[in-house]
Amino acid sequence: MTSATAGTPRLVARDLTLGYDDRVVVDGVTAEVPHGQVTVIVGANACGKSTLLRGMARLLKPRGGEVLLDGKSIHGIPTKDVARTLGLLPQNPIAPEGVTVVDLVGRGRTPHQGRFQRWSAEDEAAVAHALEVTDTLDLADRVVDELSGGQRQRVWIAMALAQETDLLLLDEPTTYLDVAHQVEVLDLLRDLNASRGTTIVMVLHELNLAARYADHLVAMRDGVVSAVGAPADVITRDGVREVFGMDCRVIDDPVSHTPMVVPVGRHSPASRSAAPAPDRTLVTHGATP
């Protein structure tokens, strides 16, 4: 584990510019990932969220600026050392043809093994635990290609957990999952953060889940950072309008008491009302939370 203290930056993007071919997607972004916290990157489609995560994971070479991992340029750190510290679940990962679930999850142990090191009891325990907590133990002998989208997503998360890194980056980890499994996965990541102190960075589309599970939010718009801070400071009516171009009401989530975004569509009675509802009003619908 690193000696960094809670709240200090683990991963820092400094004046980072990223792109593909001739197109700039992330333009001069500076953002910090506090140690020991859950950071969530949010924003509209094509705003640069996933590109920023890829750049911070060393999958994209910067066109400008730099990424620092524990104070050192991530591009100057040996690949295996990075892999022991930083785990990544990208969007739409591809499994080798014919690989079984247990074999794929076991590949998460590769950074911890030397050239001649044999599979250890520690490796076995890490894989078994990852399968158990992601509810994929019964899939261990199945071929990954035969699984549903939701099952495959949980298997990839298991592989990332088996890597047992101090820092875990996940790009849309709830993709393909139904609502129940979305909550289970995010609860699992929260538990990992609480029990092991794992620093977690996620890209999420679902704003209300981001508000519920994040300690620290990074809101992006058009390739730049629009706002950073605690969910209550970032998710406001004006903030959502600026980042997503959407009118809404922001109320207290009756379960978590975090900000909850209620969109206002063109056919909503609220959109035709001259008097807007107050921001962050607790809505109980007649029940005690």
Q: What is the mean pLDDT of residues 212-236?
A: 96
Q: Is the pLDDT of residue 270 over 70?
A: no
Q: 139-186: per-residue pLDDT in tens?
A: 999 999 999 888 998 999 999 999 989 999 999 999 888 898 899 889
pLDDT at 234: 96
Between CA 31 and CA 68 the distance in angstroms is 11
**CA–CA distance, 38 with 218 (Å, rounded to integer):** 11
Q: Which residue has the tokens 């247990």?
A: 102
Kindly report, residue by residue over 42-72, the tens digit of the pLDDT: 999 999 999 999 999 999 999 999 999 999 9
The secondary structure element, H or E, covering residue 209 is: helix 207-213
Query: Can you list the alpha helix ranges (DSSP code H) found in 93-178?
Result: 101-106, 121-133, 149-162
With a cut of 80, say whether residue 288 has pLDDT above it.
no
Q: Three-state SS for 99?
A: coil
pLDDT at 115: 66
Amino acid residing at 244: F
Average pLDDT for the chain: 88
Put simply, whether the predicted model's pTM sits higher than 0.75 gets the answer: yes
Report the candidate in 210, 245, 253, 209 with the shortest Cα–Cα distance to residue 226: 245
d(CA 268, CA 248): 11
| φ/ψ (deg, to 5) at 237 | -60, -45
pLDDT of residue 5: 57
Measured distance CA(214)–CA(84) in Å, rounded: 24
Strand partners, 31: 13
Residues 190-206, mean pLDDT to the nearest whole number: 93
Q: Point out the least confidently predicted range of 116-120, 137-141, 250-254, 261-265.
A: 116-120
Average pLDDT over residues 79-89: 91
Residue 87's H or E segment, with its range, is strand 86-89
Which has the higher per-residue pLDDT, 282 or 90?
Answer: 90
CB 207 within 8 A of CB 240: yes
What percent of the chain is predicted at pLDDT more than 70? 89
Residue 80 has pLDDT above 90, yes or no: no
Span 17-37, mean pLDDT?
A: 95
Answer whether 259's CB lies under 8 Å from 250's CB: yes
Length of the chain, please?
289
Region of 236 (left: φ > 0; alpha: ψ -120 to 50; beta: rest) is: beta
Residues 6+ apart with CB under 8 A from 5: 35, 36
